[in-house]
Every structure is written in C-alpha cells, then in structure tokens.
Amino acid sequence: MGRRDPPVPIIAATEGSAADRFARSRAWHERASRVLAAGVSSQFRAFGVFHPMHYVRAEGARMWDADGNELLDYTLAQGPCILGHSHPELVSRVQAAVARAQLFAGQHEEEVLLAEALQRLIPCAELLRFASSGSEAAQACIRLARAVTGRQRILKFDGHYHGWLDSVAFNVAPPGNAAGDAPVPWCAGIAESAAADVICLPWNDLDAVRRTMARHGDEIAAIITEPVMCNQGCIEPLPGFLAGLREICDAHGSALIFDEIITGFRIALGGAQAQYGVTPDLALFGKALGAGFPLAAVAGRARWMAPLQAGTTYHAGTMNGNNACVAAGLATVELLERDDHAALRRIARLGAALRDGLAERGTAHGLALRVQGPGPMFHMAFSCLPRATEYRHVAADDRAAYQSFCRGMLLEGVRLIERGLWYVSAAHTEADVAATLAAADRVLAAIAAGRGT
C-alpha cells in the first residue's frame, strides 16, 4: 500500500517562498494554459491555493508533485480512491482485464458479476445499468422518472451537486440566502429554458418540501437529493428527513432519487440507503465504485427501470461497462467486502479520529471551527456556527481563512480540497492521522496568532 512514514514539511519556512517550492509545477501550469482552457480539463482543478498543481506519481495515501514534493493526500482524486492510490491488487486486476480486451462494445462476464454483487448490496438495486460518470447517471435517473410519471419537473436542494449538465445545474452554490422555487443557474451558459423544470428548496426542511409538493406534486417527476449533503458542508440528514421524503414521494407518485456518488461504497457498501434504512426508487453511484476508474451505475426498482427493459427510453454510451472499469469495480467491491468489511470499518475509525482531532485543536487555539460529517468523509470550516444543517449555513463560512489553512497544510506536505471536504482511504494509517493533526496544530497556531500562511 506504499510508504507508511509520517509526512514532513515540504521545505522549512525559512528555505524559500512557495513559488520556489512549486516552481516546476507552476511552469507546467503555464505551459498547459497555452493548450488547455484555463490549463485544466475540469473546472474544479482550476482552483488551487497557489496554482493548479501537476503530479507525477501516487501510491497508497501519498502523491508526488512535479517538484518532487511528497504530499499526504486527503483529496483522493475528489473521492474515488477509497483504497488509496495504485492499490496493487486493483492494478493487477485491471491490467489482466485490459490484456484480454480493451472494449467489446458488447456484454462480458465481469459486467454481470459486478451487477450481481451490486444487486446483492444495494437495497434499491432490482436492476442496474453501468455508465462512465455521475453526471450522465444523474441524467439517466431523471429521464427514467420522467418516462414513468409522464411529468417534467424535478425538485432538488440548495447546495446539492448532481453533475455539471444543464438540467441539474441550479442552486449548486446560490448567492446570499437564495432559496425557494426560483432557481439560480450555476454558471454562464446554462439553458434558460431548463429553469422552468427545476424547483429548489433548502435541505433538511421537510415542511418546505410538503408545502411545495402540495402545490406542485402533480408536476414533479422526482425529488433528487444527496442523502448526505457532501458537496457543501458534509451535512447529514436530520432525523426523519429521508424517511419523510420517501413518504412524500409515495403520496404524490414521484420518484425518490438518491445521488450516492459520494456516499456509495464509502459510508456503507450499500450506500446511505443501507446506512439510514430508507430505500429510494432510483440511485446513482460512482467515485469509490471504480476506485479511480471512470465507472458509474444507475440502480433502481424494477418499476422505475421498466422503460429501459421495454426499450421505450434510451440510455447509451460507447464506454459503458468497459473492461478496465468493470474490473476495477469488481475488485473494489471484493476488497471492501473482505474480512467483514474491515477496510470500511478502518476508514470510519480513522476518519472519526481525524475529524474529532481537528475540532479539538481548533478549540485549543481559540478558533471558531466547525468539523462535521460521518467520518469516512467530513467537512471543516471556519465558522461561529457549531452545526450546519443546510446550504445557507455553509455559505456563511469564512472561506478566506480556510484557504489560508490549506496553504499552510500544503506547505506542511498535506494536500486538501479547498472547499473543506476531507476523504480518508484504506491506505491511511494511525501515523498519518497523528502527523496530519500535528501539522494542523502548527498551522492553526499560526492562524490564531494572526500570522496566516
């Protein structure tokens, strides 16, 4: 699984500026910017505490950048690398699959084996389809809901992210206290006509959902939600919220869709639906399912998958179910199931220790920190609000202070996601957690002293 040594600061503070430490990476970014729009292939990579970084190798819980700096990684490729980077058994299984064939554009045995495993694990998975990304899986779920109900509109929640495509790209990060049924487009270029099909509400507010469905329920094909609001604040559902959504959808004949792209195979092998005991009609999975390979799945009850069975609606993709990604998914499921889910239990334990340790160090330095989430993933923010339950609470966080924290941690040799979300992998160790908390203690002390980074 790679090195187990605790990380050390990249370069002592007196040995040069950050520009010196990441000079080669910066040069690569400047070169990339001449051929790639903004120098990146995903807009999320355009953000960086100094500049977008370039990497040359990753193993276990560590990465090495273009300047040779070793970084303890809690980004995990934005979540997929649940086993850590380049897990040897995973890599071996993928290599063997590719040696047999790259792509059949037809069915193969491992695709069936993976689907059978997911059907066994995921409560709603009476039938499945494979895809290559969460964005397209979300669209498939919405299309199925519309096909079954004959309705057009969907209800989603402020701060929830269901991919970058137009139909769901509203109120992802709405300004101010935007809430209600007036959706705010995520960015320029979103089709104005798509707004008419979307209603957006504050999350964890069951009364708001009930009122809206009472007025518009006969127009709503589906309610789509992250069962844990991971992308903004890692906010868990309030008691009864998910069950309440289930009851409301049943009452109005609408589909309940769980976006389990982050929660699936991380909070539990069966996803948040298994963890919280609420079964949706349709669900989408990705990220950890492929452990770093582009693999997603649509899982659903037979009634809601029926249009695919009948061929009355279409879901397609040249790369769907390709050999390498299916082999990665099958290996991931088998590795996570091994020894009575030992890897998942370890991830949960280490994540909780890291989460709680960060909160304790914030308190020790007199800083207003909020650290919350299930443990396998959690969110850290500088905020006077001790608990967030919906997007407006997260929107008020001090993002500049967290950027300062990320800069300090990067200089300590720890790579973080700049929006506050942390991921823990099966490759992280107790020593990694201890070293990370020691680094965080130094950075928080500097922030508390007004020095920043």
**Domain membership flag for residue 330:** no
Taking only the tens place, the pLDDT of each residue in 181-228 is: 579 999 999 999 999 999 999 999 999 999 999 999 999 999 999 999
Residue 20 is predicted with a pLDDT of 83
Overall number of domains in the chain = 2
Domain boundary (286, 321, 356) is at 321
User: For position 139, what pLDDT does the model report?
Assistant: 97
The predicted pLDDT at position 451 comes to: 62
CA 55 to chain centre: 21
Q: Are residues 124 and 31 in the same domain?
A: no
> Can you say whether the dihedral through the CA atoms of 387, 389, 393, 394 is positive or negative?
positive
Q: What is the pLDDT at residue 174?
A: 83
CA end-to-end span of the chain: 32
Residue 225 lies in a domain: yes
Read off the CATH number of the domain in which 400 is found. Answer: 3.90.1150.10
Instruction: Give domain status of residue 97, yes or no.
Output: no
Last residue of one domain, picked from the residues 291, 321, 351: 321
Active-site residue, 259 included: yes
Is residue 8 predicted with pLDDT exceeding 50?
no
Flag whether 28 is in a domain.
Answer: yes
For residue 8, tell me if it sits in a domain.
Answer: no
Mark whether 156 is an active-site residue: no
Confidence of residue 19 (pLDDT cuts 50, 70, 90): low
Give yes or no: residues 257 and 143 share one domain: yes
Would the pTM of this model clear 0.85, i.e. be above it?
yes
Half-sphere exposure of 50 (CA within 13 A, CB side): 22
Kindly report, residue by residue over 141-190, the tens digit of the pLDDT. Answer: 999 999 999 999 999 999 999 999 999 999 998 875 555 557 999 999 99
Residues 251 and 182 in one domain: yes
Q: Are residue 307 and residue 347 in the same domain, yes or no? A: no
- The per-residue pLDDT for 409 is 96
From 258, 293, 321, the end of a domain falls on 321
Q: Is residue 138 part of a domain?
A: yes
161 is catalytic: yes
pLDDT one-digit tens code per residue, 433-442: 999 999 999 9
Determine the Cα angle at 372 with ends 233 and 287, to 5°. 60
Residue 306 is part of a domain; what is its CATH number?
3.40.640.10
CA-to-CA separations, 278 to 122, 163, 273, 274, 431, in angstroms, rounded: 11, 23, 5, 7, 36
What's the mean pLDDT in 370-381? 98
In this structure, the answer to whether residues 73 and 17 fall within a common structural domain is yes
Instruction: Tell me the average pLDDT across 353-359.
Output: 98
What would the pLDDT profile of 83-96 be if each residue is shown by its tens digit?
999 999 999 999 99
Residue 400's domain comprises: 13-86+341-448
Q: Are residues 182 and 300 in the same domain?
A: yes
Burial 428-437, CB ≥16 within 10 A → b, else e: bbeebbebbb
Mean pLDDT of 349-356: 98
| The pLDDT of residue 44 | 78
Is residue 236 located within the same domain as residue 270? yes
Q: Among 65, 67, 74, 161, which one carries the catalytic annotation? A: 161
Residue 11 scores a pLDDT above 70? no
Same domain, 292 and 352: no
- Taking residues 355-379, report their average pLDDT: 97
pLDDT, residue 13, reads 36
How far apart, in whole angstroms, are the C-alpha atoms of residue 167 and residue 197?
8
> Taking a C-beta distance cutoff of 8 angstroms, is the pair 258, 283 a contact?
yes
The percent of residues in the chain predicted with pLDDT above 70, rounded, is 94
Strand order of the β-sheet with 220-225 is 127-131, 296-300, 282-285, 255-260, 220-225, 153-157, 198-201
- Domain assignment of residue 124, yes or no: yes
Mean pLDDT, to the nearest integer, of 422-437?
98
Q: Which of 67, 259, 281, 432 is catalytic?
A: 259
Does residue 335 belong to any structural domain of this protein?
A: no
Alpha carbon distances (Å) from 187 to 23, 43, 92, 389, 399: 31, 11, 41, 25, 20
254 and 361, same domain (yes or no): no
> Is 70 in the same domain as 190?
no
- Are residues 140 and 50 part of one domain? no
**The pLDDT of residue 38:** 86
Same domain for 196 and 306, yes or no, is yes
Average pLDDT, the chain: 92
> Which of the pair, 18 or 338, is modelled with greater confidence?
338
- pLDDT score of 322: 94
pLDDT top residue among 352 and 42? 352
Considering the candidates 74, 287, 402, 432, report the single residue annotated as catalytic.
287
